[in-house]
Structure formats: structure tokens, C-alpha cells
Amino acid sequence: FLTSKEQFHAYLRARGQPGDQPGTEGEEEKEDEEEKEEEVDGCPNEPPAKRVRSEDLGQDRESQEDAGVEEKEPVEQKRARGQNKSRPCMKPNHYEQSRLCPSVTQGCAEKCYFGPRCRFLHDVGEYMASKPADLGHSCVLFETFGKCIYGVTCRFAQAHLGDGYRNVVNVDLAKQWEGKSPVRNNLSKDLQHQLRKRKFSFKKADEYLRGLAKPHGGGGKGGEATGSSTEEPEVSNCTTPQEGLVDGLKCPVPPEQGEDPKPDALQSPGPVGGQEASSTKTVGPVTDEDTIKLRSCEKRKLDIQGKLYLAPLTTCGNLPFRRICKRFGADVTCGEMAVCTNLLQGQSSEWALLKRHHTEDVFGVQLEGAFPDTMTKCAELLNQTIEVDFVDINVGCPIDLVYKKGGGCALMTRSNKFEQIVRGMNSVLDVPLTVKIRTGVQEKINVAHKIIPKIREWGASMVTLHGRSREQRYTRGADWDYIAECAKIASPMPLFGNGDILSYEDANRAMQTGVSGIMIARQVPVGALIKPWLFTEIKEQRHWDISSGERFEILRDFTNYGLEHWGSDTQGVEKTRKFLLEWLSFLCRYIPVGLLEHLPQKINERPPYYLGRDYLETLMASQNVDDWIKISELLLGPVPTNFTFLPKHKANSYR
């Protein structure tokens, strides 16, 4: 199955026809011209790692002259890594020149808010004359819910349009979904208005933050726990020894940090707090909930021992992808990392990361922040407004944008702020609080074993440890020996291990280290994005030689879920395409089990060029962006004019 780069791309250009033999002189000259053009543009035509690997194996390597040219170019020796920060971005208004006013789609054109100033079309006939051709004969929204809310703007509208462009409704199917919503945790307009006008009440968070200011005269260190020993007997008596240890024996918050808060109406007026208390208006009688704080022993327990946990994946860990993983056996899912300051500002794009599908039975959200005030307020906001089973703090993000602001991995070096964040969020949440960390910041200096006992003391219910440092990012192997040491130190608090899980054999070795469970993530490369069926392999303890047709059906399901989630109009179709292409940048790294010389596939191995068992399998193995676009066109129709795409990570493609 091994081949050369030229034969590989010639095979794809010929669409796998055996009569078209690759490697002719004309094709080679054309490819040489393309390579020269790419070199002029400063874009290497393939990753250095792949080039070196193919040369080592001696499979149809290029001529010595070409190799000499490559040696003279030091730019190509630099490894492609990091984000493509200046990548092109097509905005939604580029997809359609003439868009129909939403008021017309919703059947209330006479109530258009903008009136004569509206810049969208109100004439359906005029819109239909310029609308792009439909992409298919069946609409997934119409077939699933009995009604497509996008009406004439749907790119599959022929499935549900009647005479006079009337939107047809399947009454029986629509009644089944009446009053039900498949997706929860939506941002309401009223809540968004409160957040933007800063009218949302953060009563518990404000109480805790006022307590942080008090230790200044008592010699406290940056809001560190002072006097927490006086509270320990009270809490330890309310639980059995096992429960008390799991939730942390020393997790209660000291009185000055907001423990057992009293209602503002009953507080004794102080020189500072009196004015704040008097400004708070109380409504109705005082109940036990107002005067008695929920203790850690009374909180809902997070029972996910031994379960498969899909990690929060930025960009690719969206709701449609989580539905795919859930179908293949993921037990626990988590939303993408959300920035707490954006949530507090009511940004719709950030709140979209918190959405939960009704099939996600154990679901959590992950927050990123650097300061106790914003993180505590955000935790209280989510505690009151959305349905989650746990909240996770991201202390493992290695990217500079987050790290330089004091968030992500930087919190591991800011222990005082880290403690204030964990204690504060734990004091306002009714659900368990978890923390995701790395081994440390520097490559050879591990500090997780020192931090984990403190996290247990501060009140966290679980810790997830990624077996790499920030400097390692997602390169090299995860240190599972160190994860095993930390699992013993964390006991009896559950500790999940994360890193380098790509087969059921990897998962079995990970579980033998003594961790409570494993988190399956994605990075360079990591299991779930390369093999979403990995959850099935682990549960059934087998290697699945999945065919290209089965993999293509997974992509088809993803596009259907994407159209449900992002919409079936032009904007929704192109957003689905964008996330499909991002996922394909990882999927192309999968090597079919039937082609491997030895099992299982190693997580950091990049294969040489190879031909699959059929054309589709070969197409899915291509790392060329143009080939990914071909796959998307098989599912979502032709791309718009001047369409461009570049993956988010530089190492994911060579064009």
C-alpha cells in the first residue's frame, strides 16, 4: 500500500481509475511547477516530519537534486506547529449577496423591526430568483421535527415548500416536539439584557468576595484560608469518614470568606458592610436557604468512577461532535472551554459553548479565568441559569493568549489566586467542582503532586491530570508513571488520567496505573478526534477495522447534526462545513487497522504516503485541504465562490 507523494495525488486526481496510471512526465512537470509556486509563497508543500519519514523508508524518494534544494532552505526545516493566527476567514455576509429578512421567514413581515430602513429583502419571489440551488431533496429538520423553521431560506427547501412558497408542516410529528427542546442551556434575551446592563444579582459571590477583603488586617496571605480549622469538626461530623474524605475534610470556607452567610436584612451593620447590606432589597419571607449554606457533604455527588470521559475540545468539541461520541459510547461529555468574562458580558457566541443536547446524560462545562471575582460570579451565574452536572476549571490550557493573562497553566504558579478561585466557586455552586491540570509549566519540573492535595483541601470533587507540561504542549508522550504517583497522592479524591489514548490497549494500561478513569481528548494527535469510535473499541475490547463507507456515514451523521444545530440555511450550511473541515484535519491521521503492520497505531506516528483499499479510503487519508473540501462537497454541495479554508493548527495540513 506504500506509495510516493506524486503517485498518491495522481491517484486522487484520477479518482482511483486503474486505467489512469500516475507518474507520467507531464504530471511530474506540472507538480514540480506547483511545488515551485508554493515555495515562492513561503508555504511548504508537506510537513517536514512526513518528508523525513518517507526518505527513511526509501519509498520512491525524490531525486538527489531535489533533496539538495531542500537542504539549502532552512525555512522548511522549521517544524510546523502552533496556531494559524492570520488564516483567512469568510464572514457569513459573503455567502449570500441578497438575504431574506428574518421577519419574512417567521411569517410576520409586516412587523419588521427596522421597517423601511431594513437592508434585507422582503419580496420572496425576488429572493428565490437569486437564491443558490438546493443541495438535496430531504431536509433533516423537516424529517426530525416535522417543521423547518428556515422556510424558503433552507438549502433543502424543496422537501417542505408548497404552492406559493408556503412552508409545509408535518402536524403529527410537530405535535410530538411541541413544548420540547432537544437543546438546553440557551441564552434568553432577558438574561442577556441583565448581563449587558449589569443588573444580574451575584448575592453569594459578592458575599464571598467581601470576605476576601477582610484578612488584610489579620495577616492573611492573599485571601488564604485563615481560621478554617475552627470549622473542620462541624463539617467532618456531618458526613461518614468516606464521604468526608472524598469531598475534602478541609474544604469549608472560613467565616470571613463567606461561610454560613446571613441574609442582608439580618446582618449587623458594620462600617463598610452596612451600606452594602442596606442597598439590597429583600422580597418575601426569610427561608432556610437564605440563612443556611449548602455544605459540601450535602452537594450532589459526581459518580463517574471508571467511566469514559470525553474531554472539552476547543473548536472541534462542539455539540454535533459530542453527539457522535455519545452514540459510540462516551459516558461523560463536557462543553468547550468558555471564557468567564465573555459569559458575564452576555456574548451569544460564548454562551453557545454551554449548550447541552438532551442525549448528554452526564454533562459539564469548563470555565477559564484568572481572577476570583470573575470566576466566582460566573459560577453563580451558571448555577442559577443552566443545567449541568459539574463545572470544571481549566488549569491546563497552554496557549500564550490565556497563559499571559494569568489563566490556564499560569494558575499552577499563582497558588493564592488558584485557592481563592476554587474556594469561591465551590461556595456558590450546588454541583460538584472539578479541576483539570497539567504536570507543571516547565518540562522537567513537575509540580502537580504538590498542588493536588491542596486542591482536595480547597473543596474540589475531582482532578483530571494531563501527563504533559505546558512547555511540552501536545508533543512527546504523556508521563503515565507520574500520573500513577499523583493518583495515589490524590486518593480518596478521584483522579482521571489524560494523554495518548488511541486504542483499548492504551486504555487498559492507563487504568492499571490506579486512576479512577480516563479522559479521551484530541491533541497531536489524540483519540476521539481521530477515532470517535474509540469508545466502542474500549468497551468491546477489540480493534475495529472500520470501512471507508462506515466512516463516511459518520461524517454524514455529523453534517445532519450540524444542520440541526447551526441551521439549514446558507449560513448554517457553511458553518457546518467549517467545523467538518476542522474535524477532517484530524481524521486524516487515522490509519485503517487492516493496513497496519503492527497493532495498535501509536499516537505520535505519522505514516508515509499510502493508498487505501478503495478510492474513498485514500481520499480520507489525504492531508491536502483541497481533498477535505472534496469530501465536504460530497455531503454539503459545492462551496461558495472564492471559498478558502486553512485549519486552525499549522501541523494539520501542508496546503
15 confidence band (pLDDT: 50, 70, 90)? confident
- How far, in Å, are 426, 470, 522, 554 from residue 409 at the CA level? 20, 7, 18, 34
Residue 131 has pLDDT above 50, yes or no: yes
- How far, in Å, are 311, 319, 344, 642 from residue 503 at the CA level? 16, 24, 40, 40
Residue 636 has pLDDT above 70, yes or no: yes
Report the C-alpha gap between 609 and 14 in whole angstroms: 17
**pLDDT (tens digit per residue) in 446-482:** 999 999 999 999 999 999 999 888 887 766 778 899 9
Report the C-alpha gap between 383 and 374 in whole angstroms: 14
**pLDDT (tens digit per residue) in 186-208:** 999 999 999 999 999 999 999 99
Q: What is the mean pLDDT of residues 318-338?
A: 95
Marked catalytic residue, from 397, 409, 486, 588: 397
**Type of residue found at 110:** E
Backbone angles phi, psi at 374, to 5 degrees: -70, -40
Return the DSSP state at 281.
P
Report the C-alpha gap between 73 and 65 in whole angstroms: 13
Query: Are 473 and 442 spatial neighbours (Cβ–Cβ below 8 Å)?
Result: no
Q: Give the position of cell 462516551.
A: 330
Report the C-alpha gap between 458 and 114 in whole angstroms: 52
Report the C-alpha gap between 649 and 275 in whole angstroms: 52
Residue 60 has pLDDT above 80, yes or no: no
Q: What is the mean pLDDT of residues 36-49?
A: 42
Residue 524 has pLDDT above 80, yes or no: no
**pLDDT (tens digit per residue) in 413-429:** 999 999 999 999 999 99
Residue 4 has pLDDT above 80, yes or no: yes
Residue 108 annotated as catalytic: no
Q: What is the pLDDT of residue 83?
A: 62
- pTM here is 0.79
Q: What is the pLDDT of residue 98?
A: 82
Residue 28 has pLDDT above 50, yes or no: no
**pLDDT (tens digit per residue) in 389-401:** 999 999 988 888 8
628 confidence band (pLDDT: 50, 70, 90)? very high
Residue 239 has pLDDT above 90, yes or no: no
Query: Are 504 and 541 spatial neighbours (Cβ–Cβ below 8 Å)?
Result: yes
Calculate the average pLDDT of the chain.
79
Give the CATH fold of the 308-544 domain: TIM Barrel (3.20.20)
Q: What is the pLDDT of residue 346?
A: 96
Nearest to 371 by CA among 407, 342, 412: 407
Q: What is the Cα gyration radius of the chain? A: 28
Q: How many CA atoms lie within 13 A of 649 on its CB side?
A: 21
Q: What is the mean pLDDT of residues 67-73?
A: 42
Q: What is the pLDDT of residue 579?
A: 95
Q: How many CA atoms lie within 13 A of 290 on its CB side?
A: 11
**pLDDT (tens digit per residue) in 246-299:** 333 333 334 333 333 333 333 333 333 333 333 444 555 665 555 556 565 666
Q: Higher model confidence: residue 166 or residue 301? A: 166
Kindly provide the b/e burial profile for residues 538-550, where b requires at least 16 CB atoms within 10 angstroms of the residue's own CB: beeeebbebebee
Query: Are 348 and 373 spatial neighbours (Cβ–Cβ below 8 Å)?
Result: no
Q: What is the pLDDT of residue 93?
A: 59
Residue extents of the structural domains in the chain? 97-184, 308-544, 546-654
Q: What is the pLDDT of residue 471?
A: 84
Backbone angles phi, psi at 129, to 5 degrees: -70, -30
In three-state secondary structure terms, 610 is strand
In 152-259, the DSSP E strands lie at: 183-184
